[in-house]
Amino acid sequence: MAKPKLKNLPDLSHLAVPGQEISLRVTPKAARTSLIATAEGLRMTVTTVPENGKANAAVRHVLAAAMGVAQTRLNLIRGQTAR
């Protein structure tokens, strides 16, 4: 899997708290990868397709880069088969 290009990511280091649950709305198969912090929560678009966990891996990569933590420190609780 090619790693998504990371440009203009917001600083989410304040969310890097152990045990914190983050609500994230993801749209796979988008034109470009982006991460936007809104009043309702975080919205992310990734260019990868939702097959065999590729989109989930891209989400972990982008979110870890924005938070400044390792990808292995993030756990996906829900969203394996749906948004």
pLDDT tens track for 16-40: 899 888 889 999 999 999 999 888 8
Length of the chain: 83
Tens of pLDDT, residue by residue over 27-77, are 999 999 999 988 888 999 999 998 888 989 999 999 999 999 999 999 888
Please give the pLDDT value at position 41: 87
Please give the pLDDT value at position 64: 93
Distance CA 23, CA 21 (A): 7
Q: Does the CA dihedral 40-41-43-49 come out positive or negative? A: negative
